[in-house]
Structure formats: C-alpha cells, structure tokens
Structure 1
C-alpha cells in the first residue's frame, strides 16, 4: 500500500471530527457519511472503522456495525474498543456466544473496566440461561397458558381497576382499561392472564397472512411501529377517531356498521417505556372486535429483542417473568402479514431473498416460534428496501436488502398494486419508494424522545388509494425510553 500523504491524513482527520460532531447531535446517517469519507482516505485507521460501527449500531444496522468492528480489529488487533463494539453488535443480533468471546477478550485486558465487566456478566448469564432452558426442555412440555390456574387467583378488595366479567372483554371494560392505564395504574394480574390466554386462543386460529376486505365507499387505516409510545397511540385514536359505532373505521355491509382500530404493523413493544400499556390496550380491542382489529408481528415481538430493548424488563418489573413468558406465547401466534382487497400487501419488514414467493406461501408459514435467521418468516420481519436494483446483504445483519425491481416483480407475480411496510423511522413519518409501489409508515413520533421525526398513518379508500396522515408527539409521564432495557452502550470510556 502506498504511503498516505500528510495532507490526506489531515483531511481524513477533519472528516472524522465532522462525523463526531454529527454523531453528538444524533445525526447518525450524516456521521456515517463523513466516517466513510475518512475511511476512503485512510482505510487503515481502526478508530474510523470502530466509530462508524457505533453509528451503524445507533441506526440498528448491526450487520454493518459487526463488519466495521471486525475490520477495525483486522487493522489493529490491539484496539480494545473494536472488540467491545463487535461484542455489542453480536449481542444485539442475538449471537450471545460470539459476544461472550469478545467481552472475555476485553475484560482480560481491562479487568477493572466496569462497562466491560457488566457486558461480560450479562452475556454469560444469557448463555447459561439458554443452556439451562435447553437442558430442561421436553417435547411434551405443556405451554404456560395451558397450566396456569387463573381461576384460583383472587382479586383484592383494594384493587380499584376494571374487572373482567366472566373473563370476557366488553366495551365498558376497554374504556375503563384505557383510563386506568393512562393514569399509570396496573391491571390486576388475574385479568392480564385472562386477556393473554384468550388472545392466544384467538390468534392461533388465524393464518400467517390474513385477508381483509374494505367495502365500497369505506376506508381503512394502517399504522406502523409504535414502540411502547402509549400516549402517542392514544393520540392516534384522537386524530383518527375513537373506535365506536358512531365513528366506524370499516362498514361490514351497507346494512350495519362494525368498528375497527387501524391495524398496527408490528413493533408494539421495546424502547418506549409504556410497551405493556400499549400492547395490552391493543389486545383488549382485538378481543372486543376480533374480526375488525388486525395486529401483525414485528421483529420486536421476539425474545432476543425484548431481552435487549426493554419489554422483558418492563413486564418483569411491573408483573413477573411468568407474565413475560405468556406474552411470548401470544407474540408467537401474531400473523405475519395482511392483504387488503387483494391489492395491498402489508408486512413489517419487507420482501424475500428469492423470486417466485406467492401469497399462498406466506399463508402457510409455520409461525408459532421464534423467527429463524433466514427464510420467509425472517425476511418478512427483518428485510429493508434499497434504492439499488437486485438484492444485497441487509445492513441490519438479518434479512435482505431488496431493490425496486424486486418489489415490482413481487407485485406483478401476485397481481398486487402496493407493498406497505414499517420497520424504519422516517423523518416525515412515511416514505414512498419504488415508483410509488412501496411505502414505509412509522407511527412513533419523536422516536425515543430524541429523533424529532413525525409519525404517520395511511388511510386507504376501498380502491386502495392512499392518504397519508401525519402527527407529532404528545407529552407523556416522565419515564425515559429504554428505562427497562439492558445497558448495551457501545462506547468505552
């Protein structure tokens, strides 16, 4: 390799400083651009690569973060921050054994570093827990939902929240529940168990792709990620109209009206610190109107994500680990996609690593499990669109990046007109791509109280013409996002 001139080294360092400034302002995409410019001038600087890995991780592009951290280690095998950041990326990808190796390396060199020790112990605990669960698991073991003795749980006279009558959800219960949760009060454990058990019974009867009909003259609304931002969800109901007979979202026929909450396209939980309240409200509405409330699974309705981003910690703190395990059972049965009027397909992540996938293939996906690392289920939850033709590795490290041509071919093969997906924060709350054939909708405004983005929903008429409705964040109680999450800081002091 030719020697780099002093002038070039100086320019690379200027790019790094500019990138650091953007990073400090949480403008991570711009930071990546300037780190990349620095790397183009000096590809043998481990700091540039490691810093870009950190920025990629902030955008949840853990595959790219892993690649950069590994490249930094190749450049400088003694650069300890790179091991820390690679370990963090592996941890966030659910690659716990690989993460453990990196953190072991870090604590071996820096035995007194508290952050490294915490990460090492965290990984070690997870690996041991997984080994223990694998050792005690049996094929004929009954799920928790079938062994819980809910009826034996008593409701204390001091409890001042809503009561389920005969275990059934009615409109009065839902209205009281929303008011109770909005006031930061807990639903009784007995009723929480009953709702989750009934939700599982309801969801397991559904196919992995649900078909929805929007009658002539009516409209249908679609929301994207809400990520535990409960008070913003309630604001959506205010903006789009409260579900009621007087204000229907969908008419079942010209003779009668039925109610519909906008279908929420996965990622109800994690990050925001009111995930439990949000998902519980949606589940209650689903039980109230089972044919007119539609909920799909996102990549965050999974154990790995819940473990790192807060939902497991939130449920365990507010209720118990048993409650979290029951939520996991329910999440496993959430449908993976929906089709509106045989024209618009709704998925959380995106499309596939191969051509020729038909809607029937999506209907037949066996979903009662944690998502695998590849295949249709994984790609529905994790893939992202790319502006470039064809397919390429996804920067998240999971799923695939698919170009506009892939979108067009999938739509043509299945006689559809549009793909709606979520999975990515967008400054305006939505982004239209692929010549208008693909739209990303994101419904968590000012994501994590820091991004400053708008939220959006899509309102389709019966001809599947979209109208985009934007909104801004509303105040919430003073509990910060990620309050219940694992500490996964990728920076070492």
Structure 2
C-alpha cells in the first residue's frame, strides 16, 4: 500500500481481496462496478477484463497494470504516518491530529476494508498503573518472599462492603503463609512426594484428620465462590496466556507444569486458561481440582478455570471421580466432598476469550448460540447443563469434523450438508453436535474472532489442527 511500492502479483492479490470482501473467490458484477468507480478514468476498460475473475486470473490480468496500480494506495508513507500519530498520542494532541486529517486511522480508512476482528492491541492500550502493596524478592533457590511496602488499612465504614481492596487481598490471601490457598498448595506438593500408587492412592489429611480436611475445602469453596460470582459464562483472559487441555486427575503432569510454566506462583508473568476435565480417569482428580482452585485464589486475574464435560455429576458417576472421593474419605465424608467440588464446577465459565480474539472451550461451538453475547447471558449457576442450558451443554460436548466426516454424518442422519448451517448431530458422542469449517467460519466472523482452541479429544502428539489451522485440539 506504500505510495512507492511497485505494482505486481502481490499488489494485485491485495486489490482482489479488498474488492472480494465477502471471500467468495470471484469478482461478480457488483464488485467490478465498485472497482471501476474507484479507478475513474481508465476503469471501464480494465473492468471488461476482470469480470468473474478468480484471484489467479485477476493477478495475471492486472499484475502490471498502471491503472490498477492506483488502487489500494496510502496517500502518504505509512511509517511516517505511524510515527506522527504516536508522537501526537504521547503529546495528548488528539484534537490537532484529527483537524490535520493525516492520522493513521484517517489514512487507512480510505483504502482498507473493515476488519471483523474486535481484539485489542496490547501495545496500543493506555497503561494504567496502581501502587503495589508488596515488593517481591526471589532467592537463588526460587523461593518467593514478599515484603510489605505500606500498611494496609481496612476501608472506612460505609465503604468497601463489596470486598477487600487489592492491598488487603494481597496481604491476607496471596502472601499470607497460612491463607487457605497457600496451605492447600503446600499440602498437595507434600502429598505428591508420597502419593501412593494408582491401585492404592494416598489423599490429603486422611484418617483422623478428615474433619480438618472438610473445614479446609469448605473455606476454599467459600472464598473461591466470591471470585466466580464476578465471572460470566464466557470469561475474558489476556496474553501472554498458556492454554491447557485435559488434566484428568494427573497430578504429576500438573506439578510438572508448575515447575515449568509458573514456578514462582503466585507471582506469575503469564496467565493460564484451563479447558476443563480436571477429574475422572486419573486417581488424583480431587487433588488436581483443589490445586487449580487454590492457584486461582492466589492469582485470580491470572487463572481462568473453564468447565469440561466431566465436571458434571452424571458423567462422574459413570467414570471414577465419585468412586475416588468415597474411596479416600468414606461414604459420608466422600459424598460431601464430591458434592462440594461439584458446586464449584456448577459456577465455572463454559468458554473464554483470549485478547477478544481466540475462542477457548472444552468441546467446541454451540449450535444454539450464534454470538458470544448469547453465551454471556447464560445463567451462572448450572447444576445440570443437559437440562438447564442447551448452549452450555453443546459447548461442553461438541467436536470439529473434517468435511468428509461431516458429509458422511449428514447422510447418515438424512441432513443436507448445504442447509445444515455447519452443524450436525454428534453420532460419536450421542449428544450435542459436530461442526465443520463453514460452521466455524460463521461463528468466528459473527463475533470478530480469529481462532478456536479446544480440548475434549485425545490427540496422540498432544495437539491436532483443524480447518487449515483455524481450530486446534490440545490434550
């Protein structure tokens, strides 16, 4: 788009894609008219050669055309405009920039198609800083030691009823050694060193300390509930952010992630978004749930917990989580522990957005919701998603399908693939839906998103891409 850029194949493709805004792959009569109108003199002659042209044919026809070379040009060199705009921004002279008519936004508006992506560029957002309540030091062994910088006073009467200030939370929850989150993490790390075997797994505070364990997780639940009540069913997260697939009771892998990705927690340089399925299959499902819940208490703005299809009572009864709780703590206490952790799952978001651009969910896309706004409106507390929310249930259970698999399933169900809207009944699961590339494209475009990250299916190498890398499964 630079004024001095040579006309050639790459510029021709840029021009083609600009006028082919709907991505149809051809320039129909209406698109050609727009091109001719923008060219003015000499446009009519060029229009005769590009009608119904594909991108390849268009590039061949106008690759070296001087007339077409006038299209999609910036009025001034882009880097000079960016430098000027940044200087004006730093000087807070927005009004002057607007009156001058030479801002980047004004320059680009004339030549660039409107982008659907609604994401936020992190470097463009005006930074807002707060005074930290603590200084954090790290010794050579990796031990994190906080030092309070200022006294934290309770809010005056009539103020702050909504919860503690950031300074109070930091002092009382994050860095206090005996806060419930820190106690829980210490106990789980100690257990990991002598956790027993798959056949005979050990658990936290077993035997005559079961009542102490109950009081600990009850406090954890109450504190965590305050955080979850502030979240929606589609929770936002921001980069840098690790997205983590199914855990399924594998405490060894979870603690290996800790050593690798967040070794100084609760001091975390990047966020973590968990895609659900913390329980079943593995025999330390309870400990995995409590570990991630405790981590969220200590770093609430860094940890996002999504619900998976195994965070649901009926599924757990068919697998191992209910049995695990009873085996470790007996019939009465085991059922109480199982129910309490499920109350946590009932509150969890079912999907998340990273940088307002990347859709993350355990299963996939819902057929019952076209927009993120519809997901946000789903009620927060869902005990039985299958009966209480079609949207939530479909997000937990859906799968992507390649085109051949999708067509085969459509034929099996007597559905016309062309009128399916990109969704067909998920015969593999016996519930929810499969979605193809058309279904994915429709959802991404409607919401200004770029990619999908999901879990739910075993991928032997750990990940697999779908739809030319628009969607990825991680496990």
TM-score, normalised on structure 1? Answer: 0.50
Query: Could you list the per-position Cα deviations for residues 287-329 of structure 1 after superposition, in whole angstroms to 9, with x for gaps in the alignment?
Result: 1111211110000000011111111111122232111111121
State the partner residue of 1:324. 338
Deviation of 1:183 (Å):
2.6
Question: Is the CA contact (8 Å cut-off) linking 2:232 and 2:380 kept in structure 1?
Answer: no
Deviation of 1:238 (Å):
2.5
- Secondary structure at 1:211's aligned position in 2? strand
Q: Which has the higher contact order (CA 8 A, sep 6+)?
A: 1
State the partner residue of 1:223. 244
Select the residue among 371, 379, 386 that pairs with 2:394.
379
- Secondary structure at 1:436's aligned position in 2? coil
Structure 2 CA distance for aligned equivalents of residues 172 and 328 of structure 1 = 21
**Does the C-alpha gap of structure 1 residues 437 and 178 become closer, same or farther in structure 2, counting only changes over 3 Å?**
same
Listed as ranges, the matches of 1:295-444 within 5 Å are 295-319=305-329, 320-354=334-368, 357-368=370-381, 369-372=383-386, 375-388=390-403, 390-394=422-426, 395-442=428-475
Structure 2 CA distance for aligned equivalents of residues 297 and 179 of structure 1 = 27
Structure 2 CA distance for aligned equivalents of residues 352 and 174 of structure 1 = 35
Q: How many residues align?
A: 263
Structure 1 CA distance for aligned equivalents of residues 399 and 450 of structure 2 = 18
Structure 2 CA distance for aligned equivalents of residues 180 and 190 of structure 1 = 18
Listed as ranges, the matches of 1:77-476 within 5 Å are 168-169=179-180, 171=182, 174-184=185-195, 185-187=203-205, 188-214=213-239, 219-244=240-265, 248-250=268-270, 260=271, 262-319=272-329, 320-354=334-368, 357-368=370-381, 369-372=383-386, 375-388=390-403, 390-394=422-426, 395-442=428-475
Question: Is the CA contact (8 Å cut-off) linking 2:188 and 2:204 kept in structure 1?
Answer: no
**Does the C-alpha gap of structure 1 residues 167 and 179 become closer, same or farther in structure 2, counting only changes over 3 Å?**
closer
- Secondary structure at 2:180's aligned position in 1? coil
Deviation of 1:175 (Å):
3.5
Runs of 4+ in 1 over 6 A off after TM superposition: 164-167
Deviation of 1:170 (Å):
5.1
Structure 2 CA distance for aligned equivalents of residues 196 and 408 of structure 1 = 39
Deviation of 1:367 (Å):
4.0
**Does the C-alpha gap of structure 1 residues 224 and 405 become closer, same or farther in structure 2, counting only changes over 3 Å?**
same
Deviation of 1:199 (Å):
2.0
Question: Is the CA contact (8 Å cut-off) linking 1:243 and 1:249 kept in structure 2?
Answer: no
Structure 1: stretches of 5+ with no match in the other structure = 1-163, 251-259, 443-493
Structure 2: stretches of 5+ with no match in the other structure = 1-174, 196-202, 206-212, 407-421
Question: Is the CA contact (8 Å cut-off) linking 1:378 and 1:399 kept in structure 2?
Answer: yes
Question: Is the CA contact (8 Å cut-off) linking 1:358 and 1:414 kept in structure 2?
Answer: yes
Aligned-residue CA RMSD (Å): 2.3
Deviation of 1:180 (Å):
3.2
Structure 1 CA distance for aligned equivalents of residues 372 and 443 of structure 2 = 10
**Does the C-alpha gap of structure 1 residues 306 and 243 become closer, same or farther in structure 2, counting only changes over 3 Å?**
farther
Question: Is the CA contact (8 Å cut-off) linking 1:167 and 1:194 kept in structure 2?
Answer: no
Deviation of 1:229 (Å):
0.9
- Secondary structure at 2:327's aligned position in 1? helix
Question: Is the CA contact (8 Å cut-off) linking 1:178 and 1:281 kept in structure 2?
Answer: no
Deviation of 1:236 (Å):
1.9
TM-score, normalised on structure 2? Answer: 0.52
**Does the C-alpha gap of structure 1 residues 322 and 384 become closer, same or farther in structure 2, counting only changes over 3 Å?**
same
